[in-house]
């Protein structure tokens, strides 16, 4: 079990409600931490008291308390933007900004878990709720305040889709179906890409309170501890994650064929319903590999960098390294990567192998 980190001795509080985003001027004036009441379902807390809360400790849009960063963000005093002994940390690094934005979104999502919410339907398998929209608004407020020159692409609010310049790509609530059914495997994802290159990525496991962070060339971390992908080399010893395709008419048969082959060769497979969090689980070795057909940039923008910085390999179905604009993904530790790619490609139809 991980001990709870020390909380700041004094802080002012700004409440972020699911009905709206962050008011930048109010935040700047108050210099406060985001706050929300403890989430309960049927009288039970959804997060144990000992768990480090990735949504705790943000003090202002321009500063983060150093003790919180040390405990939760994957940063250390030796990394950019963190000065040993200083009480506060300027949000000068892109990773710091990603952390602030992801926390802001997660704070909107968590207190609404377990509520009876009527979703709108983008499709039968892809609902959206008021919480998705409010969480994205909170994320956009942070990014607009801290990086006003950058583009933002969000699942709910749209934005720059071309891989040109700096783009923040965000999924405020990845796992909306889980969220609606009281399943706690939900996440908030914030990734920064500069053209085709990942720069920083954060995935917050909203209900477990874990935060996965990565910055280009600085490794991947879970609550401040370095993480690595699985070192397994035998597929029959591996747990492989997957996701169902959104377009089940086009990609459903391909998925069924691939799942059948992987089930024959691997120890087992799991489908948990939040691709951003599934990528993070590959990065820390909870999954040995993962594949999914037909997913979107916001599902993978942070997770791809997490996997790469944790020593993992990625591919689209053409066997080229995956980018945020790929359509189909295979990721794994080096020991099983090639066998997993070969296995899935062997049963994939032509349009999947072509990456379309």
Burial annotation 204-238 (CB, 10 A radius, 16+ → b, else e): bbbbbbbbbbbbbebbbbbbbeebebbebeebeeb
262 with 120, same domain: the answer is no
**Does residue 215 lie in a domain region?**
yes
166 with 24, same domain: the answer is yes
250 with 128, same domain: the answer is no
CA dist., res. 237 & res. 4, Å (int): 33
83 with 204, same domain: the answer is yes
Q: Is the pLDDT of residue 290 over 80?
A: yes
CA dist., res. 184 & res. 26, Å (int): 32
**What residues contact 23, with CB distance under 8 A and at least 6 apart?**
141
Beta partners for residue 290, in sequence order = 241, 331
Residue 178: which H helix or E strand, with range? helix 176-180
pLDDT in tens, 238-271: 999 999 876 666 667 778 888 999 999 999 999 9
281 with 193, same domain: the answer is no
Residue 62 is part of a domain; what is its CATH number?
A: 3.30.540.10
271 with 312, same domain: the answer is yes
216 with 279, same domain: the answer is no
Round the average pLDDT of the chain to a whole number and report it.
Answer: 77
CA dist., res. 72 & res. 56, Å (int): 9
318 with 184, same domain: the answer is no
**Does residue 3 lie in a domain region?**
no
Note the pLDDT of residue 294.
86
**Does residue 45 lie in a domain region?**
yes
* Residue 26 contacts residue 19 (beta carbons within 8 Å): no
CA dist., res. 74 & res. 96, Å (int): 10
Domain-terminating residue out of 159, 192, 222: 222
Provide the domain limits for residue 18. 13-222
Note the pLDDT of residue 256.
85
- Tally Cβ neighbours within 10 Å of residue 40: 13
Q: What is the mean pLDDT of residues 159-169?
A: 78
**Does residue 62 lie in a domain region?**
yes
Distances (CA, A) of 306 to 120, 143, 222, 226: 31, 20, 10, 11
**Does residue 333 lie in a domain region?**
yes
**Does residue 227 lie in a domain region?**
no
CA dist., res. 59 & res. 65, Å (int): 6
pLDDT in tens, 190-203: 999 999 999 999 99
168 with 260, same domain: the answer is no
Domain-terminating residue out of 196, 222, 248: 222
Backbone angles phi, psi at 76, to 5 degrees: -130, 175
Q: Is the pLDDT of residue 17 over 60?
A: no
Note the pLDDT of residue 162.
67
208 with 338, same domain: the answer is no
**Count of the separate structural domains present in the chain:** 2
Note the pLDDT of residue 250.
64
Note the pLDDT of residue 248.
61
Note the pLDDT of residue 92.
72
pLDDT in tens, 87-131: 233 357 999 999 999 999 999 999 999 888 877 766 555 677 899
Backbone angles phi, psi at 350, to 5 degrees: -55, -40
Domain-terminating residue out of 156, 189, 222: 222
Residue 320 is part of a domain; what is its CATH number?
A: 3.40.190.80
Which token pair is 37? Answer: 């009441």
CA dist., res. 223 & res. 69, Å (int): 9
**Does residue 18 lie in a domain region?**
yes
**Does residue 177 lie in a domain region?**
yes
Q: How far apart are the first and last CA of the chain?
A: 43
Q: What is the mean pLDDT of residues 5-15?
A: 35
Q: What is the mean pLDDT of residues 307-322?
A: 93
Output the pTM of the full model. Answer: 0.75
130 with 187, same domain: the answer is yes
pLDDT in tens, 277-286: 999 999 999 9
Q: Which of residues 162 and 171 earns the better pLDDT score?
A: 171
207 with 240, same domain: the answer is no
pLDDT in tens, 316-337: 988 789 999 998 999 999 999 9
Distances (CA, A) of 197 to 102, 164, 216: 20, 10, 9
Query: Helix (H, G, I), strand (E, B), or coil: what is residue 330?
Result: strand
């Amino acid at each position: 079990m991980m001990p709870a980190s020390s909380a700041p001795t004094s802080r002012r509080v700004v409440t972020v409600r699911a009905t709206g985003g962050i008011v930048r001027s109010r935040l700047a004036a108050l210099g406060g931490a985001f706050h929300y009441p403890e989430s309960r379902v049927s009288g039970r807390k959804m997060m144990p008291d000992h768990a480090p809360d990735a949504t705790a400790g943000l003090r202002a849009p321009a500063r983060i308390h150093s003790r919180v960063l040390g405990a939760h963000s994957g940063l250390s005093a030796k990394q950019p933007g963190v000065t040993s002994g200083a009480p506060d940390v300027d949000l000068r690094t892109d990773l710091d900004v990603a952390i602030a934005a992801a926390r802001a979104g997660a704070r909107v999502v968590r207190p609404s878990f377990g509520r009876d919410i009527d979703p709108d339907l983008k499709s039968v398998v892809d609902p959206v709720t008021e919480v998705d929209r409010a969480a994205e608004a909170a994320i956009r407020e942070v990014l607009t305040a801290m990086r006003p020159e950058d583009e933002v692409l969000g699942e709910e609010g749209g934005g720059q889709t071309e891989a040109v310049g700096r783009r923040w790509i965000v999924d405020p609530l990845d796992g909306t179906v889980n969220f609606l059914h009281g399943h706690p495997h939900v996440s908030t994802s914030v990734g920064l890409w500069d053209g085709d290159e990942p720069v920083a990525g954060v995935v917050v496991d909203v209900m477990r309170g874990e935060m996965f962070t990565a910055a280009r060339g600085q490794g991947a971390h879970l609550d401040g501890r370095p993480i690595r992908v699985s070192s397994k080399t035998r597929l029959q010893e591996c747990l492989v994650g997957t996701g169902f395709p959104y377009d089940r008419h086009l990609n459903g048969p391909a998925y069924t064929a691939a799942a059948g082959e992987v089930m024959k060769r691997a120890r087992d497979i799991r489908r948990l319903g939040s691709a951003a969090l599934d990528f993070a689980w590959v990065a820390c070795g909870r999954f040995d590999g993962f594949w999914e057909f037909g997913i979107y940039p916001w599902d993978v923008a942070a997770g791809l960098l997490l996997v790469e910085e944790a020593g993992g390999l990625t591919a689209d179905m053409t066997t080229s390294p995956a980018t945020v604009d790929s359509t189909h993904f295979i990721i794994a530790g080096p020991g099983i990567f090639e066998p997993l790619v070969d296995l899935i490609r062997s049963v994939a139809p032509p349009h999947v192998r072509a990456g379309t």
